[in-house]
Structure formats: C-alpha cells, structure tokens
Amino acid sequence: MRRAASIGDRARMTSLSTQRETLDDLLTRHDGVVATSAALGYLSADALRWQVRSRRWQQPCRGIIVAQSGPLTGEQRFRIAVLWAGHGAALAGMTAARLQGLRGFDDKPGAIHVLRPVGHSLRGARPPLALVIHHTRHLTEADIHAAREPPQTRIARSLVDAATWMGTERGAQAVLAAGVQQRLVRVSDLTAEVSRNPRLYRRAIIRQALADIDGGAHALSEIDFTRLVIRRFRLPEPDRQVPRLDQRGRRRWLDAVWEQARLVVEIDGAGHVDVRGYWDDMNRDNQLTRHYRVLRFPAWAVRYQPEYVASEILRALRDAGYPC
C-alpha cells in the first residue's frame, strides 16, 4: 500500500517542479541554446549526459547545449555563434545589419559575422557553422544594442564594420548608402562611429562616401554620379534628392536638379527592374517635362561612360543658358 506523501516529500516535489519551470524559462529566453555550465545549475551532470546521449538534446560543440533534437533554427545558430565566441562577443557587420532591417545584400551562404574582444578565450573546437570571426580592441557595452537578442552591435557600428569587411571599395560604399537610403541610420551616426576609431580600415574612403551620402547621394549609383561625373568633369554642383509633389500630392525625390537651368538628372539603378517602380518614375518624368528638361542615365553608364554622361549634362546646361 503506497504511503501518503509527507510534508517533506511535497516540498521536494514542489522544489523540483519550480526548478524545472525555471530551466524551461531559461531555455525559452535563449531559444533552447545555453552553456553547459548554465544547464548544470538545474540538472545533475548525469541527467545532462543522459539528455545528450539519448539524443533528446544535442551538443553542437563543447560547452554548449541545444535543448532539442531537430535541425537548428537561424536564431539558434546565431546564439551558438555568440556563445562559442566567448564573453563580450556579439553578432556584427552584415549579420547584425540584416537582423536590424538591412535589405538587398547577399553574403557567403549562411555566413555569421561575430565580433569579439581581443584576449578573451574561445570555447574550444569550432561549431559546425559558417562563422566569420573578427577581433577588435574597440568593443564596449555602448556598441551593443540594448534591446535585441542575441547580443549584436548597434546599426551604425554594424554598417561601418560591414563596410570595412566588404571585399571591394564599391561594396563598402554600397552598404553605407543602403543603410541611409533604407532609413536605418543617419549619416551623423555613421560619421560619429568612424570618428571613434582613427585606425579604421578604409577610413578615408568611408569618410568620403559619407560626405557624398550627406550631400544627397543616397544610392550607390548617385555616389558614382557625384564622384565620376560632377567632380571629375567639374560640372556645377546640383541640388540632390530634391522633393517634389506630383499631381496626386505624393512626395517624389529627384536625384539631381539644376534649378536655374530647369534641368533634372535621374540615375536608374537596379530598382528599375521592377516594372511598377519604373512606371512611377516615367509618370513623374511626364509631369516634370512640362516645366523641366529631364535626362535619365542608367547606373552602368555613370560608372563606365562618365564622359558621355558629363557631356550630355553640359550640353543641356549650356542650351538652357546656364553659366558653365
């Protein structure tokens, strides 16, 4: 005959139940990914080994436990990467920027960029992830986004780091322009981030790109336009990203405007592959041509035939009687 549970038995059962709920809460907060040392705060070593050996849980690398048996989710991969990289590490560069909304950039398949302080130890053998580890002497709590998990650098730091890690200078310019164009960050925030690190790789190029963007060149094709056409051929500086209201009262942005000459220049980038977007631009041009002359150039012409683009603009300015 089974005896009634004593007060002590009930207390122990309540304690175990509370402990299990606390462990479940911990696992929920961390998407099932925890350090082995954290799990041992709730389970005995034997119980933890049994979870792994029975394949209810998995151990992607030494010191890290994933409390599930199925394929890893993207969020779990990010958490494993940061946990493995050690104390103070954070998702960074393109990985952090994408998590915070950056669109339109491809990277190595599955690549996870992690930034970690110099001098901190790793957890041993690398987990089976496409990790790209970057080391730095400049990483503080102020660099880490306070409201996002897993730990990741703030958007300004993420974009500047991504620019320094890009394979080409054009890629560096593009990622900065995209961050501003997509309204994820202000130029002033990026400039402040660059100023914090006088030894930043590509610092001069990044500062010049930010100056171009701050002048209104919010797309890479417009940066090319400023650098390859306006400055190289010493054309008069236009106003950039000038707002205009169309007939429906919608605000439209013009790439470059010489108001005195009533001349507008538009640079067509990759976005104009979208037929609807292209028609919107054509419709805007149809309305503008009643009062302005509109010249349109594809981004590739700005990059590879800047002499032609400059000559067409110069001819239009002179035709309008502009002093140049």
Please report the pLDDT score of residue 148 as a whole number.
94
Furthest CA-CA distance within the chain: 109
Please report the pLDDT score of residue 245 as a whole number.
57
Residue 126 near residue 195 (C-beta atoms within 8 A): no
Residue 145 near residue 82 (C-beta atoms within 8 A): no
Please report the pLDDT score of residue 108 as a whole number.
72
Render the burial of 191-215: b for 16+ CB within 10 Å, e for the rest.
bebbeebeebebeebbeebbebbbb
pLDDT per residue, tens digit, the chain (324 aa), is 444 444 444 444 444 444 445 888 999 999 999 999 999 999 999 999 999 999 999 999 999 999 999 999 999 999 999 999 998 999 999 999 999 999 988 777 689 999 999 877 777 788 999 999 999 999 989 999 999 999 999 999 999 999 999 998 888 988 999 999 899 999 999 999 999 988 899 999 999 889 888 877 777 788 888 888 999 999 998 987 777 655 566 666 778 889 899 999 988 764 433 334 443 554 545 455 567 888 988 777 888 789 999 999 999 999 999 887
Spell out the domain ranges in the chain.
22-69, 72-214, 236-319
β-pair type (131-136, 112-117)? parallel
Please report the pLDDT score of residue 1 as a whole number.
41
State the Cα–Cα distance between residues 236 and 24, nearest whole angstrom.
65
Helix/strand/coil (H/E/C) assignment for every residue in the chain: CCCCCCHHHHHHHHHHHHHHHHHHHHHHHCCCEEEHHHHCCCCCHHHHHHHHHCCCCEEEECCEEECCCCCCCHHHHHHHHHHHHCCCCEECHHHHHHHCCCCCCCCCCCCEEEEEECCCCCCCCCCCCCEEEEEECCCCHHHECCCCCCCEECHHHHHHHHHHHCCCHHHHHHHHHHHHHCCCCCHHHHHHHHHCCCCCCCHHHHHHHHHHHHCCCCCHHHHHHHHHHHHCCCCCCCEEEEEEECCCCCEEEEEEEECCCCEEEEEECHHHHCHHHHHHHHHHHHHHCCCCEEEEEEHHHHHHCHHHHHHHHHHHHHHCCCCC
